[in-house]
Amino acid sequence: DAKTTQPPSMDCAEGRAANLPCNHSTISGNEYVYWYRQIHSQGPQYIIHGLKNNETNEMASLIITEDRKSSTLILPHATLRDTAVYYCIVRVGGNTGKLIFGQGTTLQVKP
Amino acid sequence: KAGVTQTPRYLIKTRGQQVTLSCSPISGHRSVSWYQQTPGQGLQFLFEYFSETQRNKGNFPGRFSGRQFSNSRSEMNVSTLELGDSALYLCASSIQPPNEKLFFGSGTQLSVL
């Protein structure tokens, strides 16, 4: 079902930028890309979303390629508290379809 | 503004029993979706409701059902529980679909013995 592909795990040094990639090659023109993260034992938390332009908020930046087939979530200065599972999601089947979370990327921030 | 509230937080049942989980969305949110999370399968989509209508359903057996009330609160029911139904059940609300800015509750941890 999943329309997104992410690496299963990544490491990042504390204080460095964490760049998490996501492939969504079958995304439709009007489908947004959303990013969430889940810290152990908590519900997922919204991070950021975008359609075609790059986006930035207080948590992260989202870079979407011009062809919209992939995107990268950037945590500019990763801290130990950013250790979590990061999910990139789109709606499968257009705006009337199902919202599916893939397996996500486990980001381990190391001191 | 209060967040998404799920009750109960923990639940222990035995095989064959049935269970009902409750979800109160954020005030003003009319869409509720449910997810099952297990270590092996990750987050799996169960259902999505909007204005008391099931909008989408995941690939789960008919033992899993849900409903949404006029006040947007939602319940999900699992009948004839199996050991494999042990999981964290998460509810999320949003203003209305297709709005993917979801707000999740803390979940109900169901253990089936």
Nearest CA in chain A to B92: A43
In this structure, chain B runs to a length of 113
Q: How confident is the model at residue A1 (pLDDT cuts 50, 70, 90)?
A: low
Which of A36, A43, A104 has the CB atom closest to B42's CB atom? A104
pLDDT at A60: 97
Would you say B53 and B113 are in contact if contact means Cβ atoms under 8 Å apart?
Answer: no
pLDDT of residue A97: 74
Q: Reply yes or no on whether the pLDDT at A73 is more than 70.
A: yes
CB-based contact B88:B9 (threshold 8 Å): no
Confidence of residue A2 (pLDDT cuts 50, 70, 90): low
Q: Chains A, B: CB contacts under 8 A, how many?
A: 57
pLDDT of residue A31: 81
pLDDT band at B41 (very low <50, low <70, confident <90, very high): confident
How does the average pLDDT of chain B come out, rounded?
94
DSSP string covering B8-73, please? -SEEEE-TT--EEEEEEPPTT--EEEEEEEETTTEEEEEEEEETTEEEEE-S--TTEEEEE-TTS-
| Lowest mean pLDDT, pick from A22-31, A49-58, A78-87, B18-27 | A22-31
Q: Is residue A11's pLDDT more than 90?
A: yes
CB contact (8 A) between residue B43 and residue A101: yes
> What is the pLDDT at residue A32?
84
Among B43, B56, B59, whose Cβ lies nearest the Cβ of A97?
Answer: B56
Please give the helix or strand (H or E) that residue A21 lies within, else none. Answer: strand A18-23
Share of chain A above pLDDT 70, in %: 96
